[in-house]
Amino acid sequence: MPLNMQPLSDKFSVAITNVDLSKNVDQNLFDEIVDVFVKKQVLVFRDQHIEPQHQVAFSRRFGPLEMLYDEDQRVPGFPEIAILSNEKVDGKFIGVVAAGDFWHSDQSYRRETSLATFLYAHKLPKHGGDTEFADMHGAYESLPDDIKKRIEGRMGIHQRSKLGNPRVAVTREGGEEYYERRATKNVTHPIVRTHPVSGRKGLYVSPRFTVGIQDMDDAEAQPLLDTLFAYQTAPGNTYRHKWTLGDFVMWDNRSVNHQACGGYAMDDIRLLHRTSTQGDQPF
């Protein structure tokens, strides 16, 4: 069955309107979805009715599911699904409140990084709550040759903690202590990542997690990173998703950066279910 697709931006991201992910997705259809996923990087499946078991079953076909966040921030009975929400029950937040609030690629601070991430909207605020995506192939391809030469073979340094990263702010309550507990050992990845399926090159750095460049003084590395970040979000390289109930959104962390745009009031409830799959070590 050919996929019914509409482009959401000039170069990447498409909406798919003739697939029901709550039904059995046979292998031929799944192969088509994977092909478009690698080529278009962000897929928005419209008009879905996804129960937790559907989200887990579909996500799992892309690889081992990651178990992220604390146990009380996950869907009861489905530890692979994290709840992203500003909703409170009995005075306590039911999920993660400020997930993904700066540009990043998921889990880039680990040696083996995330492959696909999946979000399904259960409640949406009246205002705000968009998710924005940036095309890392497009960003790399738009670099002038001299910058491509400067980053060739270079490794970016990635760190989970927000403490000590001047490009990001600690927004969550008790954030200082939270990030002290969650600091990771620095990990390095190539600044220019090769997509393992398509072979296309893309930038693999982000303001949220990339804090330096290996074997380069900060005096040179930090302005160079700022230049790369500016190319990543230049006009033509981004798509801003305005959510509609029924949207099931997935993206390829090997070729896309993303951020949660916020902008909704604390009593204007947003509730998304999030799954992600483990990928490989970037090369």
165 is a contact residue toward ligand SIN (CB under 6 A): no
Q: What is the CA radius of gyration of the chain?
A: 18
How far apart, in whole angstroms, are the C-alpha atoms of residue 204 and residue 161?
18
- Enter the DSSP assignment of 44: E
Options 100, 138, 202, 212; binder of ligand SIN; rule CB under 6 A: 100
Angstrom distances, CA of residue 236 to CA of 78, 102, 217, 254: 38, 19, 31, 19
CB 222 within 8 A of CB 281: no
Tokens representing 65? 């599911």
**Total number of residues that touch ligand SIN (CB under 6 A):** 9
In terms of Cβ atoms closer than 10 Å to its own Cβ (0-12, 13-18, 19+), residue 220 is exposed
The closest of 30, 25, 82, 22 to 48, measured between CA atoms, is 22
Least distance in angstroms from the C-beta of 260 to ligand SIN: 3
Of residues 54 and 274, the one with the C-beta less far from ligand SIN:
274
CB of 274 to ligand SIN, least distance (A): 6
Contact between 125 and ligand SIN by CB under 6 A: the answer reads no
Q: How far is the CB of 26 from ligand SIN (least distance, A)?
A: 29
Interface positions, 210-249, toward ligand SIN (CB under 6 A)? none
- Decide: is 162 part of the binding site for ligand SIN (CB under 6 A): no
Reading the block at residue 82, the tokens are 């994290």
Question: Residue from 16, 75, 84, 136 that binds ligand SIN (CB under 6 A)?
Answer: 84
Answer yes or no whether residue 21 interacts with ligand SIN by CB under 6 A: no
99 binds ligand SIN (CB under 6 A): yes
Q: Shortest approach of ligand SIN to residue 243 CB, angstroms? A: 8
- State in angstroms the smallest separation of the CB of 258 from ligand SIN: 6
Short-list 239, 275, 231, CA closest to 80: 275
Q: Count the Cβ atoms, other than its own, within 10 Å of residue 40.
A: 23
Question: According to CB under 6 A, which residues from 249 to 278 bind ligand SIN?
Answer: 258, 260, 272, 274
Residues forming contacts to ligand SIN in the complex (CB under 6 A) are 84, 99-100, 117, 131, 258, 260, 272, 274
